[in-house]
Each structure stands twice: as C-alpha cells, then as structure tokens.
Chains A and B, each alone.
Chain A
Amino acid sequence: MKRIPLLIFCLMVGTLNAGCDDKFDPLSFLSPEFDEGLNLVDVSGTVTLPAALGFSVDEYGTIITAAATETTETIYGALYIGFFSGTDDSNAQYPMPLTAPVSNDAFPYGGTTIGTFDAINPATGERDTELVCKYVSNQNFEADTDGNLVHNFDILQFPFYSGATLWAFLDVDTDDPENGTCSLSSGFRDPDDNTIYYGANFPDVLNKPQEYVSAGDVVTGFDDVIIMESLSDPLDITINCHIGVNC
C-alpha cells in the first residue's frame, strides 16, 4: 500500500518527461546521463615547438631558453591556445585573432594554458619570491625523435562552430609590465606577509592577445593556423614564428 504513492510519483515524472522529449522513456529521470542539447564540446590535441627554434626544457619539462637568446635572461612563460572566429592577416609577420570594435575583445570560443605562474621552485617545491612571474610550473614538454618539443592539451566545454580557428602563442618576458602575461600584483599571497604576491596570469590574455603579443614571443605562423571544420579534425598545432628572430 505504501508503494502506491511512489508509483504514482514515478508515473507523473515519466509523463512530464514525455512532454519534453519525443523519445518517451518513463525511467529516463533515473539515468545518470542527460543530453541537454547544448553546443559544448571537449577537444584534445598537441602543440609543437620545432627543434629549429632552439628551445630546450629543464628536467621538469619547463621551457627555459632558446639558442637564439642564450646569453640573455629571457624568460619563457606560459603557452596559450585558443579558438577564435578567425585571424587578422594584415600584419605582415604573423596572424592575430580578430577582435571586436571598441571593446577590442577577441571573444574566444574556448582556450587553455600550458603552464602556471606560482613561483614554485621545482627543486624544493617551495614558493620563491625570486621566481615570481619568472618560472612556469606544470609544463611537461617532451622531445620527439626529431628534437621538437611537444605537449598535449585539452580545451574543454566550449561551443564549437565549424570554421573556428585554432591559434597559439608562447609568452616571453612574462614579467614585463608592458606586455607580459603575468601579473605581479596578484595570485597566491604569502601567508606570513600579505604584501607579497606570487603572480598569476592576467585574466584576459585570450580576450585581448594583441595587448600581450610582442617581440620575442612565439606565435602560430600563417601556414600553421588550424581551421577546424569538424570535431574529427586533428588538432596538432605548431608555433614557429619567433617574432623578431625568424618571423
């Protein structure tokens, strides 16, 4: 007798479901998977830094320097990858994501970062004020048989539009106050001295990449931008345009 109300409840829910879904399944509300019909997809791919650029990595997989600038203290930072509506190719050297007027926002559909600014010394595992915006953790580049540096990436939960352009850049001189992508005045705060910050990415690097890409950075060249027509397209992108060096 006690089960009758539960049965009625189940039938009611099942009936409600039928009103929303042509494929009537009276037990669908019990299913752990439910397709909301949203245009949100996950993709995976690889990003490659060609051996010809002379990049190398330390024992932790972080990009540390390039042969072309070995004598300087050039800092190679986070690598940014994003999907955009297209690129502006009017610049003779390299393509840049298209941006809207006034707001100058590129409105990326999705994106990700390889590497984080947390000023952690990989040897000690401790935060170091000397490394604020000067060292990137959580990069794990590996050299392939040709000496190219390769890293996997995932871009999650973004709306896919056929024809979207995949574009990437590696920031250099990340602590440059003019166009570095690391903010010296934000990020983790030292628990013993709250005036010390350990740095973090600016939040709009993919929204306004034109404000961050500058000489010394490495970006996707004209021939290497990937236009994604379908979700089955491979996403193996190369960034080989070293601005001011070979680009």
Chain B
Amino acid sequence: MKYFAKTFLGTALLASSFACNEIPTSDFLVESTVPVVGELGALQLDVVASVKELTADVGRPNKGAGQFGGFTATFTGDGGSVCVILDPEGLETDLDPEDDGDSDLYVGKESDYTGTPGVTVGLFEGFYEDALGVIHKNDLNRCVVQYTDYFGRPGAHAGLGKVEYCVVSTDAGVVYYVVGKTFSVPNDDANLKVSVAIVETIDNGGEPGCPSITETTLTGDSSS
C-alpha cells in the first residue's frame, strides 16, 4: 500500500512538472487587443505651442516571462538640444489603475539600443573598458527625467499617468531613439495609449531646458 502511495505521489509530481512548462494564463486579466511593441516612426521638432505628437497604442507585456513592452520613435540630432516629452494614458488629477497606465521615457543613440524597433523593447547600453582593462556595462540612456528619486537626485521615472520629459543634447546627423517602456497598462482594456513628442528647448539660466510642460501639452493619450 505504501509503495502504491509513493508511486502515485511521484506520478503526480512528474505530471505537475510538465504542467509548469506552460505559461499560465489568467482568467481575470483582460487580454490586450493591440501589439505589445509599437513603432511610431520619425518625430518632428517644433515649438511647444504647435507640438506635433505621435501616439502609440500598446498592449500588456508578459513581465513574468521577462518580456518588455512599449514603443520606439526616432529623430535626427542637429547638434543642439531637444526636449523630449512622453505622456501615458491618464489624468494626473484622476489617477486610477482601471483606466490609466504608466510608461517610462528613455532616449539614446540608435547605435546604443539593444532592442529591435517594432519587435522588442531594449535598453541603451554599451560596454566600457576602464584604464585597467576591466569591462563594465555602461548605461547610455541620455534622458534624465525631471522627477527626483528617494534621495532627491534627478532622473526618477514618474508613476501612473504622469507626464515625463527631459532635455537631450544631440550630435548633428545622428539618429536617436525615443523609447517608452511600458510599466503598467489600464486594467479595463489592457491597451495603453502613450503620446510622445520633441519640442524646442528654452533658455534656462544659460542651460537648455524644457518649456512649461503640463498634463495637457500632449493630448493623444486621451488625457484631456
């Protein structure tokens, strides 16, 4: 009898291990109806008063499986600075995970990007060999977002529905990618609208800065 019980238990464990090879699906999460990764094409530089935005509609990535989601857009540097803006779906005054989402802004050179536009979302990184020949992974993201972190240092990403922006200095003729990395999607439809644009910088005490940016600067994310 004991041997029967052990055999039964072993068979059950073996069967359960096969079952674990498949990614479980959820009964309560709404399925996205749009691709997880989007590609928007070229952004146009203008003053903020006549901003020309592009809007992505992206689905929920399977974070448990290590998948990243989001979109890419591009622009070509002119040797000056540009202000890059990203606004995910949701009003800052009415933040609700049911119908709001979160996307984080990154900007870098095309040559530093580890993702494939329209296929996978990656990072801006390279390898740095120091003076002693030691190799380090080097963060090549050039966008220091306006929010501050726990320590009060700039560069923290914002939360649900909040607009993010940063100033990026460019090299002339070099292609840059703007990446919106999906952090969360609205629960109600699992489709996240994210607007993105580049605008001309203003003089900010001798340094290039972004003009006044609010939740309503970009409207494609249905936030106004």
Query: Measuring CB to CB, which residues of chain A are less than 8 angstroms from any residue of chain B?
Result: 85-86, 98, 100-103, 105, 107, 109, 159, 161-164, 177, 183-186, 200, 202-204
Other CB < 8 Å A-B pairs besides A85-B130, A105-B138, 18 of them? A85-B131, A86-B130, A86-B132, A101-B138, A102-B138, A102-B139, A103-B138, A103-B140, A107-B134, A109-B134, A159-B134, A161-B134, A163-B131, A184-B152, A185-B150, A186-B150, A200-B151, A203-B151
* Complex: chain B residue closest to A208, CB-CB: B153
Instruction: Give CA–CA (A150, B117) in the complex, Å.
Output: 56
Give residues 122-151 of B contacting A (CB, 8 Å).
128, 130-132, 134, 136, 138-140, 142, 150-151
Instruction: Given the known inter-chain contacts A183-B152, A186-B151, A186-B152, please indicate yes or no for A161 contacting B132, CB distance below 8 A.
Output: yes
Instruction: Give CA–CA (A203, B140) in the complex, Å.
Output: 19
Smallest beta-carbon distance A50→chain B, Å = 28
Instruction: Give CA–CA (A203, B139) in the complex, Å.
Output: 17
Do residues B132 and A164 form an inter-chain contact, with CB atoms below 8 A?
yes
Residues of A within 8 A of B134 (CB): 85, 107, 109, 159, 161
Instruction: Given the known inter-chain contacts A86-B130, A86-B131, please indicate yes or no for A100 contacting B136, CB distance below 8 A.
Output: yes
A-B contact pairs, 28 of them (CB 8 A): A85-B130, A85-B132, A85-B134, A86-B132, A98-B130, A98-B131, A100-B128, A100-B130, A101-B128, A102-B139, A102-B140, A103-B128, A103-B138, A103-B140, A107-B128, A107-B134, A109-B134, A163-B131, A163-B132, A164-B132, A183-B152, A184-B152, A185-B150, A185-B152, A186-B152, A202-B151, A202-B153, A204-B153
Query: Measuring CB to CB, which residues of chain B are less than 8 angstroms from any residue of chain A?
Result: 128, 130-132, 134, 136, 138-140, 142, 150-153
